[in-house]
Amino acid sequence: MVVIVQNDPRVPTGIAGLQQNVQLVQAFAAQPFPDIATIDSVVILGGYMSFDADAVYSYLHDVKRFMGKVLDAQIPMLGICLGAQMLADILGAPVHRDRSEEQGLQVINLTEDGASDPLFAGSPTALAAFQWHHDSFDVPRGARHLAFNEQCPGQAFRYDNAYGVQFHPEVTGGIVENWCRHSGCSDELMAEFSAKEATHVSEHTRLFENFYGNVRRS
């Protein structure tokens, strides 16, 4: 079973949920987490809040505790944006407020480790990825650095079977449009994504297929 954890009602599963046997856990609505023994892989979605906003969003305590159990069980996990920042924090890496902000489609570059990692199998070494973040993380000690760009060096890492990606591989045009309506964005950003949505969905569907199908327990 694939478990997808939703931290914010405004940040849905998108193409991450185009998979059979998915259980969505809406952490913001206090939905319970399933038994670890029943889980094959986990996706932790993003959110508008900061990684350390537990005092305001108390359910983040439960999400982080669940992520710790997933790490201990060596179940494949993919943290996206906020999910990646929480993963980096759990692993002891600094997470920085309002540093390396990005919005819209940006090119990320795979490192040598990234180009050979099963998560990015079939991806170009210069990959257009959708960004919407203010905070950013350092790559945790002991993790493999998989992707970077000049604006934000920490774009992707792998620690055992756990991945963190700063970008949003799950988004569709509808999600981007909703974020723009809620928070504001330029007409150029929306137009560019609309023009390249089909390519983005194709390339990042491959990323999720790689994660669900090729990343195994150690």
Domains and CATH numbers, the chain: 2-214 (3.40.50.880)
pLDDT tens column, 15-44: 999 878 999 999 999 999 999 999 999 999
* From 81, 102, 133, 200, active-site residue: 81
Q: At which residue do the structure tokens 């491959």 appear?
A: 206
Angle at 116 between CA 36 and CA 109, to 5 degrees: 100
Query: How many Cα atoms occupy the beta-carbon half-sphere of 85 within 13 Å?
Result: 27
Catalytic residue among 133, 145, 168, 204: 168
Q: What is the model's pTM?
A: 0.96
Cβ proximity of 102 and 151 under 8 Å? yes
User: Which tokens hold the place of 88?
Assistant: 């980096």
Q: Is 81 a catalytic residue?
A: yes
- Catalytic residue flag (residue 200): no
Of the candidates 133, 152, 170, 203, the residue annotated as catalytic is: 170
Distance CA 193, CA 195 (A): 5
Task: Flag whether pLDDT at 216 surpasses 80.
Answer: no
